[in-house]
Amino acid sequence: SQKIEQNSEALNIQEGKTATLTCNYTNYSPAYLQWYRQDPGRGPVFLLLIRENEKEKRKERLKVTFDTTLKQSLFHITASQPADSATYLCALDTGRRALTFGSGTRLQVQP
Amino acid sequence: EAQVTQNPRYLITVTGKKLTVTCSQNMNHEYMSWYRQDPGLGLRQIYYSMNVEVTDKGDVPEGYKVSRKEKRNFPLILESPSPNQTSLYFCASSTRDSTTKNIQYFGAGTRLSVL
């Protein structure tokens, strides 16, 4: 069956360090993979999109990698700040219908 | 301002009392979806619509109905709510052009409690 897993339910790091979140999937062939940020009580907000033929995408302090052989995406936040504390969701787009989301990783950046 | 508007934001109801959650978007998007979010289960798609009068079931459609009579509106209907439909609901819209590639724009959410 199709499955999306985000590495851990929660991740705690110190301010200034790099946070690395993992998204693994099985039995999908996604055309695109997206990452969203969700703050408590609010809707997810789009951050980055990466295509199946792209290895890496960057936006300011954010970096996403996509390895279709390993069926894995890594999401990095460099020089993390307490304001980066939120839940981060990965989502797969197979090109057929709406997205399929992972359950998210809650990131807590300690000052 | 581009946005997806859901109403109400909070709703407490009783088992069996029909309710509708409204969703409206002002971005002229073709695609609209409803998701529910539960602890540990993440976002699960209930229904989606590819355009006016075109809808299809998502992963958890049981107990829900939708309609898409106008491009901007996509209401979610619970004909006979039950306690297992207590959840946080999100409406989202998107388009599949070459730039935006099905990026979802979410509403602020509706927290529903069914007693």
Pairing of strands B42-51, B54-57: antiparallel
Residues of chain A in contact with residue B4, where contact means CB-CB under 8 angstroms, are: 43
Mutate to test the interface with B, among A97, A105, A106 (most CBs of B within 10 A): A97
In this complex, do B109 and A43 lie within 8 Å of one another by their Cβ atoms? yes
Number of other residues whose CB lies within 10 A of the CB of residue A110: 11
* Mean pLDDT, rounded, for B42-50: 92
Q: How confident is the model at residue A96 (pLDDT cuts 50, 70, 90)?
A: low
pLDDT tens, A26-48?
887 777 899 999 999 899 999 99
**DSSP structure class, residue B97:** S
pLDDT tens, B1-26?
889 999 999 999 999 999 999 999 99
Phi, psi (rounded to 5 degrees) for A82 = -55, -30
Mean pLDDT score across all residues of chain B: 93
Output the pLDDT for position B98.
Answer: 67
Distance from CA of A78 to the nearest CA of B (A): 24
The structure tokens listed for B80 are 């006979």
